[in-house]
Structure formats: C-alpha cells, structure tokens
Structure 1
Amino acid sequence: MENSVFVRRRAQLIAALVPNSIAIISAATEQSRSRDTEYPFRQHSDFWYYSGFNEPDALLILTNRADLPAVQLLCREKDPALEVWHGRRLGPAVASDSLQLQAAALSEQSALLSQAINGSVAVYLNITEQTSLLQQVTKQMQLLKQREKRGDIAPGQLVDLAPLSAAQRLLKDDTEITLMRRAGQISAQAHIRAMQLCRPGRFEYQLEAEILHHFALNGARYPAYNSIVGSGGNGCILHYTDNSSELKAGELVLIDAGCELQGYAADISRTFPVSGKFSDEQAALYQLVLDAQYAACNAVAPGSDFAKVTAAAEQVLTEGLLGLGILQGELAQLIADKACKAYFIHGIGHWLGLDVHDVGAYKAAGLNDEVQEQPFLPGMVLTIEPGLYIPAGSPTEPRWWDIAIRIEDNLLVTPEGHDNLTTAVPKEIDAIEQLMAAAQGRN
C-alpha cells in the first residue's frame, strides 16, 4: 500500500481534532500462545490504518499543535542480537524516511508522551480497547496536574477517539476497495474449492484445510476469523469452529470463511449438500434463504439502511416459512411479531473492513437529534447474510430438523446501488449441484 494513503488518512484525522489537541494510538503487542511461542502478530486495526507500520509495542502521536511535530512514531530500536532470533526491526531512522513521519525510540516514550500531553486542550485515544495506553495517559495527566504551579498544564478533556476513527474507516477509499475486492475473489475461489472436494466420509477440518491452503497460496496467509465448517446439526451453532465431525451423506455443510489480505477481511458463507444433491426439504429452505438474500441485496443502495434491508429479508422469510407450514398464523401478524426470528436468529449483516465486524455506527443522529438508522453511503462495505436454523427438537415436523442454511456476500455501496464483491462463488441450487457433480466425476 502506498505511503501517501497513510499520510492522507493522518491528515484527515488531525483536521478533525479540536484545536491544540493530540491523538494517541497504540500498536498491538505480541500474545503468548504457549511457553516460548506466540500467536502470529496482528497489528491493531486503527494503528495500521493510520501508520502502515506492522511492528508491536509502538506508539503513534498525532497533533494539530504548532509547537509539536504533526506526527510522531515511537518504535523499537534496532537490535542485531534480538533480530537474529525474532526478525528484523525497521528502527526509528529508517521509519522516519520510509513512512514520511518523525520517529523516535520507544525508550523516549515517557518524556515524549509527557511533552505531547502537557499543554494540550484535549487528548484523544481509544478508551475502550487500549486500556494500557489509557492508564499511561491518565498517570501523565495526574502528574501534570500536580505540577501546575510549575507551569505545566494538564489537558481539560480526555476524549474517546473511537467515534472519529470509526467514521473515517467506515467510508473505504479506492485502495481499500481494491484490496477488499481481491480478498473477496480469493475467498470465493476457496469456497469453490471446498465444494469441489466435499465428499461423504471426509471431515470438516479437511474442507477447512483446503480453504486455508487456497488463502495462503494466493497471498492471504491468515483467515480474517476462525473458519466455520459445520455439517448437519453443527450448522445450527452460529460460531461453530470445532470443525471435527465426519461429513455424512444426506447432510448439508455450512461454511463461513474469509481471508485477510493486508489487514482487510472478506466474509463469505455458503451452504451445500455433502453428497452434491439437495433433498426436497433442504432445497425448499435453501431457496427461501436465497430469495431473502436477493431481496435484501436489492435493498442496498445509497440512502437505504440496515432496517430496510432487514425488513426486506424478513418479509420473504416469513412468507416462505408460512407457506411451508413451519410458521402458522396470519401473515401480517407474523411479520409484525417477527416470528421468523425463531429460526433466523442473527442480524442481516454488518460492516466489513479491517475488522470482520468492522467499526462504524449503526445508528446516527437525525433531525432534532433523534436517533435514526445510519444511511448507506457510497464507499461503505457490508455483509448480507440471512439464514435459517432448525435444530433437532424444534417445534416443526422432524423432516426439517438439523437443516442449517446461511448465504452471505460482501457488498460495496456505490452511487448507483451496490457491487457484490463475492459473487464469483455459486449460490443457485443448480449451479452448486452442477459444480459438485463435475468435480465428483473428475475424482
């Protein structure tokens, strides 16, 4: 990603601060997995968004004060002995040149942090997520307060940075859209690969392995979240990640998986028959979910919102469940009662970006400060994922039991409507069955 992207983002954030203020963002730290081993390092999303710096234990200070550098990065110093064991470090000197900002050694953190806080009108930081940084800043503010007679000035405000950074991250720039489009393509092909290799007698984790393999082969070393591969009744567990059961003939398998590419997530769900052919009951419920997804996707356009999208999906699901006899009653009352939520047990979608459940408000202040739905704007990226889940023992005919279906795509809001970034993976019944039949015929 070109450094000019990060320079522009930092300038935009600085312009949003109240005059004579600072914003402080902390990098992630390495996390232990077991003795002497760590989980793969993943940078804090806000820190990456504004810095493009992918090392732990760093600090970014942004300010609109005239007496301080607009941007300061505090990072680990070069250490040849440690770098032999744990990998190369950029170091302050190289960071200054390559990232187009002023960099200093992390050992200077206490002094530089105190200098930046002293005299600032307000200090912005992510209060909820970065609790360690909050403790450091609070301590510095208390020390300054005690030294006011010596001329030090403690800030009058401690402000949560999250709403500012979230609003900025909610609208994706061209660079982000390009990355997310590619992440969607890689993830779509991984789902196709899973469909092609699915057979009775194989295991859920084998499909997961094929998906992760395809991610890594195409430059996305890590998934954006723990992959869900749930066959049969396991699909009724929304965040099922054991992925340990044998795939059985006659069952469906629900896969929710997406890669992470340069920090950006894809998030795709598809459901298909283990044996390659839907039963009548499976096909009836599957087509219902697919129709609901089409209705929801058609409602995605500038000025629309998640409430309108949800209503479109629930209308279709309620009508369909009533027609199949799974719900009973009057249609209008069932819709008003949201009766379909007995089997559609999650939301219709969420924002997508550097986090799979990305930052961004779902509600916004309207006229007279009334709370309203956040309207969709060009540049927003979201998921649309209706589903139906009927675990064994549900108050339905047993023929519907252990059927779980979710269909999820990633949509970019455009001035004309939307662009589906993950449409490459089949979701029509005939297309899925033909793809799997062709693959089974070859193998």
Structure 2
Amino acid sequence: MKYHAINSDLFIQNRANFSAQMKPNSLAVFNSNDVYPIGADSALPFQQDRNIFYLSGVDQESSILVLFPDCPNPKHREILFLTETNEHIAVWEGAKLDKDAAFKTSGIKTVYWLQDFERVFKEIMTQCETVYINTNEHYRANVETETREDRFNKWLREKYPAHSVAKSNPILQRLRSVKNQIEIDLIQQACDITEKGFRRILEFVKPGVMEYNIEAEFMHEFLNNRSKGFAYTPIVASGNNANVLHYIENNQECKAGDLILLDVGAEYANYSSDMSRTIPVSGKFTDRQKQVYNAINHVKNEATKMLVPGTIWADYHVEVGKLMTSELLGLGLLDKADVQNENPDWPAYKKYFMHGTSHNMGLDTHDYGILTEPMQANMVFTVEPGLYIPEEGFGIRIEDDVVIQENGEPFNLMRNIPIEADEIEDLMNK
C-alpha cells in the first residue's frame, strides 16, 4: 500500500463497537471484494470491501473476517482467514500478510489460512445461533454484479439452513457514519492532498488546455502524495459541460471566457475527500459569473452553519432550498410568480439546483449513514450547492467537507483550499 500504516487501535475499537451491538450467541462474517477481470489476464486494480477494512484494516484480496464475541473458545472470538503467502507469490506478486503482519495491522491474534476456513467455520457454527451477513443496502446502491460476499451468503444459507440470519448493515450504517479521530485525520490527509492538486492546476489552467490535461495534473499530484488516485471518477467540465451533473468524459478543450467545474477528490488509505471548485479558464470571472459564484458561496456558508447535532437531513434540505430560492430571485433567474406557483414536490429552485446539498462521507465518497436519524457530532458531510444555467453557458458548484462538532459550527476539512472568487483569480494570475 502507498499509505502509511494506520494505528490498529482504530480497528480494535471498531470491532468492539460492532460486537457490542450483536445479538447474544451470534457471529458475523465479512469477505473481501473480488478482483474483477477485464479480459485475457488483465484485471481492475483491487479495491477492498469497505466493511472488512473498517473492522480489520486488512487491505488484501481473498480475506475473511469472523467475529464471535460469545464463542466458548476465546481464541475464536476474532478470526482472520488469509491467503497463505509463499515464495512463488512473493516473487510474482509481492508477499501477502503473514500472521505477524496481520496482527500488527488489525490487532487480531488468531489468523488461519484460507484452506482451513470450512473446517474452523463448521466448528464455530455448531456453537452459535445467529449469523450476521454483510449486504450492501446503501440508498444509492445499484449493483448488478454478483460479489464475493453475495456468493458466500448464498453458500452459507444452503450449508447452514437452520441458523437464524441477521444483517450487519444497520449496525454498520450507524457506526461508520460517526468517525473516530483517527478516521478524521485520514480524511484530512485526503483533503490536504486534494488541496495540493488544486493549487497545482490553478497555475496550469489557461485557454487551450484540454480537460484531460487538468485531470492528469491532479493525478500527478495525488500519486506523488501517497494516494492511489481519485476517490471517485473525476469531473472536469468546461463551459456547458458543467450542466451535465455527472459529466466524466473530460475530453473537451477549455476555451477563453468559459468556466471549468471541477469535482475531484483524492483518496488516502481508502478514505475519500470530495471537493468541487469552479474556476475561470482565462483567470478572471466575468461580472455575471462572479455574481452567480458569490451567491452559491453564500448559500454554502449558510448551509454549513446548519450542520449541527440534531439536524434532520430532509429538513436541512428544505431550509437550503429557501436560501437558494432567495439567491435565484436576486440573480433574476426566478421571479415571485415562479415561487408562488411552484410545485411543492419540485420547488422552483430545482430548475437550477436539482441535486442534494450534503451527503455522508468517509470510506465511501457517498458514505454510510441513516439519513432519517438526527445528525451527530463527528459525522462528516459534504456541503455542495450549485447552479446550472445552460442558457448562459456555464454551471457552478462549490463543495467542502466538514465535520459536525458537539458545540459550534462544523470544522471545515477543506479550510485551506482556495474558495473565494478573488483569491482564485489572484492565484491564477500571480
């Protein structure tokens, strides 16, 4: 891995928190992700399942974690099953975790090789009543591929039909949404790397560069700072491309007078950052562009203040909608009749601001969190208002990542990334 070793205290505490929520005499199983083939002997770069990483720190394929807090044998209350490393694997792929390295990473003392899984698992299944299975129930999930976890869950139900089955997901949704300080520090590191990339491109952008040239500059800076790269597919959208919310082609020329909407973020140690900035290709906003930019920035600042413990996500978006409506009236994009006659299910402001303002962030860019429950301290949210105006040829989005505080305004993890229009102009023209 490119990233520095993570303190195993994080994973020890995460397992303790999860185990405390389990039913009596139950065990939980977590599998690593597949290595997904492309064709011939090629495969996509491995990405670890976030839940097994969250609970163990193991960032290696073909791994299984079993938690059984009430196991009669103390040795089997936490178990890792890993691929047995050997000289052949070490030469061709690099050595895998051995038992000592697995303990240093995870804090788990009992490590077996994968070939022992069915034998050991059969033994502990005779001692438990309920099995927690890992399922992806994120509200944005749209999974068409059968995963390693899916195959395991199918095998488990067929092999042990008399056991009760429970879901790990509701527990993890709550636990993962509230961050440990070690996690906040890792997200801060991802944000700091993103800042370096953004400052780099402020010096690089000029009329005639291609959107993919800008993407490459970010990637250069990210890789040089121990990141695997982008936390999600980057958006580098110049001109009217910014009015396509998920524009990812990044293949057009950046032209004088246009704006570039950048939605990019570095990952670090599997943790995400998520930044949006909008900059002028020529290094200077027009008066109209700056007027719209400052209006959005005002909404972002006011929306950020609302992210406090006890806030309900749906209510928050209603209030942000009111802020944006006021700004749209001031910009002349809406009039009073538009607001008076609006459809309550699709308010007038949605014509120009059609997406949500905030989402949980962490190991996943759109991280776990139960949005119907009140916000809590140490949750990390984005704040990302935007306006998309095809008739004027540009779209603007501004986004920071913030940590909810027990008392006071949220802590902005992107506080050092240039955001004011005048500052962006100064840096692009120095």
* Whole-Å separation in 2 of the counterparts to 1:425 and 1:384: 14
> Residue type of the partner of 1:313?
V
Partner of 2:149: 133
- Equivalent position SS for 2:314: helix
Contact kept in structure 1, 2:265 and 2:274, CA below 8 Å: yes
Contact kept in structure 2, 1:118 and 1:144, CA below 8 Å: no
Structure 1 residue 127: Cα displacement: 2.7
The alpha-carbon distance between structure 1 residues 384 and 94, as it changes in their structure 2 partners (threshold 3 A), is: closer
Structure 1 residue 419: Cα displacement: 0.3
Contact kept in structure 2, 1:277 and 1:433, CA below 8 Å: yes
Q: What whole-Å deviation, never above 9, does each CA across 1:353-394 have from its counterpart, x for those lacking one?
A: 00000011111xxxxxxxxxx222111000000011122xxx
Structure 1 residue 96: Cα displacement: 4.7
Contact kept in structure 2, 1:266 and 1:410, CA below 8 Å: yes
Are 1:219 and 2:235 matched, yes or no? Answer: no
Q: What whole-Å deviation, never above 9, does each CA across 1:370-428 have from its counterpart, x for those lacking one?
A: xxxx222111000000011122xxxxxx4x2x210000000001112310000212221
Structure 1 residue 279: Cα displacement: 1.4
- Equivalent position SS for 1:240: coil
Partner of 1:71: 78
Partner of 2:7: 2
- Equivalent position SS for 2:382: strand
Contact kept in structure 2, 1:125 and 1:134, CA below 8 Å: no
Partner of 1:112: 120
Partner of 2:355: 346
Q: What whole-Å deviation, never above 9, does each CA across 1:86-140 have from its counterpart, x for those lacking one?
A: 1211234653566432111111222223333334221111134785434434434
Structure 1 residue 332: Cα displacement: 5.5
Contact kept in structure 1, 2:235 and 2:261, CA below 8 Å: yes
Among 48, 54, 61, the alignment partner of 1:56 is: 61
Are 1:433 and 2:413 matched, yes or no? Answer: no
Single out whichever of 402-411 and 179-188 deviates more from structure 2: 179-188
Among 215, 218, 236, the alignment partner of 1:208 is: 215
- Equivalent position SS for 2:17: helix
Partner of 2:414: 422
> Residue type of the partner of 2:384?
E
- Equivalent position SS for 1:318: helix
Question: Where do 1:29-428 residues align within 5 Å?
Answer: 29-68=34-73, 69-92=76-99, 94-96=101-103, 99=106, 100-128=108-136, 132-145=148-161, 154-155=162-163, 157-330=164-337, 331=339, 334=342, 336=344, 338-363=347-372, 374-391=373-390, 398=391, 400=392, 402-416=393-407, 417-428=409-420
* Whole-Å separation in 2 of the counterparts to 1:283 and 1:38: 45
Partner of 2:141: none
The alpha-carbon distance between structure 1 residues 290 and 48, as it changes in their structure 2 partners (threshold 3 A), is: same
* Whole-Å separation in 2 of the counterparts to 1:140 and 1:60: 15
Structure 1 residue 34: Cα displacement: 3.8
TM-score, with structure 1 as normaliser = 0.88
Are 1:13 and 2:18 matched, yes or no? Answer: yes
> Residue type of the partner of 1:28?
N
* Whole-Å separation in 2 of the counterparts to 1:325 and 1:207: 33
* Whole-Å separation in 2 of the counterparts to 1:350 and 1:269: 14
* Whole-Å separation in 1 of the counterparts to 2:380 and 2:297: 20
Partner of 1:366: none
Contact kept in structure 2, 1:78 and 1:89, CA below 8 Å: yes
Contact kept in structure 2, 1:295 and 1:312, CA below 8 Å: no
> Residue type of the partner of 2:44?
Y
The alpha-carbon distance between structure 1 residues 300 and 118, as it changes in their structure 2 partners (threshold 3 A), is: same
* Whole-Å separation in 2 of the counterparts to 1:431 and 1:55: 43
Single out whichever of 378-387 and 305-314 deviates more from structure 2: 305-314
Partner of 2:3: none
What are structure 2's unaligned runs of at least 5 residues? 1-5, 138-145
Contact kept in structure 2, 1:204 and 1:243, CA below 8 Å: yes
Single out whichever of 379-388 and 38-47 deviates more from structure 2: 38-47
> Residue type of the partner of 2:282?
S
Contact kept in structure 1, 2:33 and 2:148, CA below 8 Å: no
* Whole-Å separation in 2 of the counterparts to 1:30 and 1:314: 42
* Whole-Å separation in 2 of the counterparts to 1:407 and 1:165: 30
